[in-house]
């Protein structure tokens, strides 16, 4: 089955073609970083406008690189939510137009399920059941994946997403946008033990996260310091990164222990972070758990992961009507 995936939930216009749900024939990602960088974060109205300009060329390129035409498609999978409504609408409208013209079956895919399916595009794929830590710019949550297409949310952030904290702290430190890669680069020469930022603990023993406290702590530290040298910026970046990673690993281990997990999937944009990959690898290794992490380019937003999730839904007989629409707060579990 040849499936076209379309992803426009945030600030990447992406299209990909998959063969058999696992073989990536093409994966095109048009980044909007240049549009949003001056603002230090995604501006929804500008994102929708850029999606409108890019959606047709990006789909065309994905088809051309895969060497397939619209008539060769057995299905179209499009991100239905969660995400920015104006951005989601562009992808959904394009998918529905193609489906209507060519009579192609379509399915709506949950963006977070897409992130989890990125793990199925690697050589070593996860067996069910597994625990998934989805950590991105808009979401930070733990899901217990029992069987295909069945998820239970066991924990989530109570305020900011981890990626959002990376982006905001990078802005505070004048490191530019997107913040995650910028913090990771800046932290390379820094001392991760230089500043002790607070870690959030849940008084109700919940397997949740909170990143607003550390964001405020960094903001206070920067204000108190007045001006920071490059070396001091590196220390703040490294200390912040280490603290966020510590919190992510701690709650994942807590959830895994309580659930009797043997396998963990780490995915989402922040999963591209080397320190997080290493620390979770170590924590899982110590417990005899298998850790599966997609390669960095599959962790950040792309349409191959959407096509992979959509392929399974199409194979299971799922079809979306042409009245399907964007759902900005679509839940996974």
Question: Which residue in the set 7, 113, 167, 235 belongs to the binding site for ligand KG4 (CB under 6 A)?
Answer: 167
Instruction: Give how far the C-alpha of residue 22 lies from the chain's centroid of Cα atoms, to the nearest Å.
Output: 19
Question: Which residue in the set 75, 91, 163, 294 belongs to the binding site for ligand KG4 (CB under 6 A)?
Answer: 163
What angle do helix axes 44-66 and 85-102 make, rounded to 10 degrees?
30
**Does an H or E element contain 140, and which?**
strand 140-147
Instruction: Give how far the C-alpha of residue 57 lies from the chain's centroid of Cα atoms, to the nearest Å.
Output: 23
Q: Is 190 an interacting residue with respect to ligand KG4 (CB under 6 A)?
A: no
Interacting stretch for Zn ion, rule CB under 5 A, among 40-48, 135-143, 277-285, 322-330?
135-143
The torsion defined by the Cα of 307, 132, 162 and 196, in degrees rounded to 10, comes to -150
Q: Is 300 an interacting residue with respect to ligand KG4 (CB under 6 A)?
A: yes
C-beta closer to Zn ion: residue 207 or 306? 306
Question: Which residue in the set 29, 47, 272, 291 belongs to the binding site for ligand KG4 (CB under 6 A)?
Answer: 272
Return the residue matching tokens 């680069």: 185
Question: Which residue in the set 40, 181, 256, 294 belongs to the binding site for ligand KG4 (CB under 6 A)?
Answer: 181
Pairing of strands 150-156, 75-81: unpaired
Binding to ligand KG4 in span 127-146, by CB under 6 A: 136-138
Question: Which residue in the set 130, 151, 166, 240 belongs to the binding site for ligand KG4 (CB under 6 A)?
Answer: 166
Dist CA 156 CA 257 (whole Å): 17
Q: CB 34 → ligand KG4: shortest distance, Å? A: 15
Q: Is 116 an interacting residue with respect to ligand KG4 (CB under 6 A)?
A: no
Dist CA 316 CA 148 (whole Å): 10
Question: Which residue in the set 21, 81, 105, 179 belongs to the binding site for ligand KG4 (CB under 6 A)?
Answer: 179
Q: CB 137 → Zn ion: shortest distance, Å? A: 7
Beta-bridge mates of residue 152 = 144
Considering CB distances under 5 to 8 angstroms, the limit depending on partner class, which of Zn ion, ligand KG4, none binds residue 178?
ligand KG4
Size of the site for ligand KG4 (CB under 6 A): 19
Dist CA 221 CA 240 (whole Å): 11
Considering CB distances under 5 to 8 angstroms, the limit depending on partner class, which of ligand KG4, Zn ion, none binds residue 126?
none
DSSP for 265-316?
EEESGGGG-HHHHHHHHHHHHHHT-EEE---HHHHSS-SHHHHHHHHHHHHT
Interacting stretch for Zn ion, rule CB under 5 A, among 50-58, 96-104, 118-126, 300-308?
300-308
3-class SS at 131?
strand
Q: Is 301 an interacting residue with respect to Zn ion (CB under 5 A)?
A: yes
3-class SS at 132?
strand
Considering CB distances under 5 to 8 angstroms, the limit depending on partner class, which of ligand KG4, Zn ion, none binds residue 208?
none
Q: Which of 73, 64, 80 is nearest to 98 (CA)?
A: 73
C-beta closer to ligand KG4: residue 98 or 249? 249
Beta-bridge mates of residue 265 = 132, 292
Interacting stretch for ligand KG4, rule CB under 6 A, among 50-58, 95-103, 176-184, 251-259?
176-184
Q: Is 164 an interacting residue with respect to Zn ion (CB under 5 A)?
A: no
Interacting stretch for Zn ion, rule CB under 5 A, among 47-55, 116-124, 153-161, 297-305?
297-305
Q: Which of 314, 328, 331, 326 is nearest to 2 (CA)?
A: 314
Q: Is 136 an interacting residue with respect to Zn ion (CB under 5 A)?
A: yes
Rule CB under 5 A: which residues touch Zn ion? 136, 301
Contact set with ligand KG4 (CB under 6 A): 10, 136-138, 163, 166-167, 178-181, 184, 268-270, 272-273, 300-301
């Amino acid at each position: 089955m040849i499936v076209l995936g379309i992803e426009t939930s945030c600030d990447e216009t992406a299209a990909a073609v998959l063969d058999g749900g696992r073989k990536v024939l093409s994966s095109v990602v048009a980044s909007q970083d240049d549009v949003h960088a001056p603002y230090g974060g995604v501006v929804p109205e500008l994102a929708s406008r850029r999606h409108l300009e890019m959606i047709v060329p990006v789909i065309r390129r994905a088809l051309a690189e895969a060497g397939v035409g619209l008539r060769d498609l057995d299905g179209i999978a499009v991100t239905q939510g969660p995400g920015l409504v104006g951005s989601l609408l562009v992808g959904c409208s394009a998918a529905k137009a193609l489906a209507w013209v060519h009579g192609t079956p379509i399915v709506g895919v949950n963006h977070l399920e897409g992130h989890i399916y990125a793990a199925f595009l690697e050589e070593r794929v996860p067996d069910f059941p597994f625990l998934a830590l989805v950590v991105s710019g808009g979401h930070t949550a733990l899901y217990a994946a029992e069987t295909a297409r069945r998820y239970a949310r066991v924990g989530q952030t109570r305020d900011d997403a981890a990626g959002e904290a990376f982006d905001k702290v990078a802005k505070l430190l004048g490191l530019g946008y997107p913040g995650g890669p910028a913090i990771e680069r800046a932290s390379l020469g820094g001392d991760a033990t230089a500043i002790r930022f607070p870690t959030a603990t849940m008084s109700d023993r919940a397997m949740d996260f909170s990143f607003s406290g550390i964001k405020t702590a960094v903001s206070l530290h920067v204000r108190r310091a007045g001006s920071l040298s490059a070396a001091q910026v590196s220390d703040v970046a490294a200390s912040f990164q280490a603290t966020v990673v510590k919190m992510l690993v701690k709650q994942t281990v807590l959830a895994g222990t309580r659930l009797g997990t043997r396998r963990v999937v780490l995915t989402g944009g922040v999963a591209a972070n080397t320190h997080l990959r290493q620390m979770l690898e170590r924590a899982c290794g110590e417990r005899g758990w298998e850790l599966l992490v997609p390669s960095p380019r599959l962790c950040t937003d792309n349409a191959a992961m959407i096509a992979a999730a959509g392929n399974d839904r199409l194979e299971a007989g799922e079809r979306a009507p042409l009245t399907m629409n964007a759902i900005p707060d679509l839940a996974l579990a």
